[in-house]
Amino acid sequence: MKILHVVGARPNFMKVAPVHRALSRHSQVQQIVVHTGQHYDVNMSDVFFQQLGLGTPDYNLQVGSGSHARQTAEIMSRFEPLLLELAPDLVLVYGDVNSTVAAALVCSKLHVRIGHVEAGLRSFDRSMPEEINRLLTDQLADLLFTPSEDGNRNLGREGVSATKIHLVGNVMIDTLVQMLPTVERQQIPDVPQRFALVTLHRPSNVDDPAWLDEMLKSLQTIGEDLAVVFPVHPRTREQIARLGHNGSGIRGLTLLDPLPYLTFLALQRRATVVITDSGGIQEETTYLGTPCLTVRENTERPITVELGTNTLVGRDTGRLLKEMDAILQGRWRKGAIPPLWDGKAAERIATIILEYSSNKNRKAACLQT
């Protein structure tokens, strides 16, 4: 059985690693990794493959950055001839980035079976490009691997056949669990004993100059009581510079370049609080038991709010400061780890894929007799 994994951005790399590892234990499976090049910066791409033990991708389409339409179209045009050449039995796509929906569209038109890892997540906000990617990919996929029960419910409401849907748990947590022993030994930047860890990258936030300026002022206010460590995404750094801040930093904030996965995970584990607009970080902090304040109006990962340590504060910097004050006073929800977030999601995916392939082969054999 030939399986092709398509990844394109930093969150995908953490998801593909455990699935690739689980499938590699089965001799009948041949695996090929295609990196679209959607994220191409060394700190956002190469170092992740190294730290996750994936080695070098078998193919890199090198699409680079661009508008959503241009990037998606470029991925499709470069991926199609490769798909025809490799002729896989199954293509696995991950998460909700442009690479995910682009590969799914190409596979669908060429009648190649698709598996979607991290299916069924919904923010119910179609102004988010990722939401469109999630909706389209899930309608095209043949196998939908959900991380939590809300994913199953969402897919059921959208008319997806229950036979396609498989609740397997969270593969991001698989990677986290595997890496935790290494994290204990990880060298991290020189930071204070207590600190807030910040990540901001969503265009809806960082491309809004007024909001970003207000957010930076709020972080400076937080910095009066608690050190603020801020690894800055390249897009965010560019927008901060447009506000007139130079590369030397902002008073009260420790600005860092994007960090390797293990270093960032170590910081998450040690942080007093994490402030973010990322999806995956909401999950990681829930598993680690670290309070998380998410500066978004909604989340496609509601289980991190319902069961975990995550609080949605929206784009309301006043509420952010209020919630920060509560955390500093020790008043925050301790949360729990959601069901099946146990480090074994990828093993479940591998088992389902092999059973699916076996059933397809049996049906094909019956048709030939």
- The DSSP bridge partners found for residue 310 are 292
Distances (CA, A) of 28 to 85, 363, 366: 20, 19, 21
Roughly what angle, to the nearest 10 degrees, separates helices 171-184 and 280-288? 60
Point out the catalytic residue in the list 5, 201, 233, 245. 201
H-run or E-run covering 231: strand 227-231
- b/e sequence 332-362, b meaning 16+ C-beta within 10 Å: beebeebebbbbbbbbbbbeebeebbeeeee
Alpha carbon 218 to chain centroid distance? 26
The amino acid at 31: Q
The amino acid at 304: T
Distances (CA, A) of 115 to 75, 112, 135, 245: 18, 10, 14, 44
DSSP 8-class letter at 281 = H
- The DSSP bridge partners found for residue 166 are 145
Contacts (Cβ under 8 Å, ≥6 apart) of 265: 176, 179, 180, 183, 186, 284
Tell me how far apart the alpha carbons of residues 11 and 155 are, in angstroms, rounded to a whole number.
22
Tell me how far apart the alpha carbons of residues 270 and 290 are, in angstroms, rounded to a whole number.
8
Does the active-site annotation cover 26?
no
Q: Which residue has the tokens 């041949």?
A: 30
Angle of CA points 309, 158, 98, to nearest 5°? 70
What are the catalytic residues? 201
